[in-house]
Amino acid sequence: MIKFEIKYFVRFDFSDKQIGQYLSNSLRDLEIARENKRSEVKFNYSYTALIKGGIALIAKIGQVKIRSIPGHHIKIIEKMSEILQDETINEVGNLMRMKRNRDLYSGGVFISDKESKDFYFFIEKVLFKVKEAIERNTAKE
């Protein structure tokens, strides 16, 4: 059983339509990342796709909504990793989060084409797992 700390999460009854919209929004961001040649754009949209996919997964599995407070992206990544039982999500997701934060708050960071593509392909696999988990849990209902 995944524990959702009340500091970061609040109980919420999501409809399947709402969860589907979250997931679609995540997949749309991934599509933008795929279609864009600029490494910074590919990286940033891949990261937002990961976070939005995590929000959809957490909404479906935990029936909780994330609070928008400092550290909430860390918690989204952590809970995705727990739910999908894949520690690599936590490791890579936090690496991306830290790079994004350095880019925003420390005057920028260089993201190579290879690095942005590697992140993109990793997030693509994660979102496939997210989609499967949501569909599997919808079928159980």
The rounded Cα 82 to chain-centroid distance in angstroms is: 13
Distances (CA, A) of 67 to 50, 55, 73, 116, 135: 17, 11, 10, 28, 24
SS3 for 11?
Answer: strand
Distances (CA, A) of 47 to 26, 41, 118, 135, 137: 10, 10, 12, 22, 24
What rounded mean pLDDT belongs to the chain? 95
pLDDT number for residue 3: 94
Q: From CA 82, how far away is CA 127, in angstroms rounded?
A: 15
Phi, psi of 131 (to 5 degrees): -60, -45
Q: How many percent of the chain have pLDDT more than 70?
A: 99
pTM metric for this prediction = 0.95
Read off the pLDDT band of 13 (50, 70, 90): very high
Domains and CATH numbers, the chain: 9-140 (1.20.120)
Q: From CA 46, how far away is CA 120, in angstroms rounded?
A: 5
Read off the pLDDT band of 124 (50, 70, 90): very high
State pLDDT tens for residues 97-110.
999 998 888 888 88
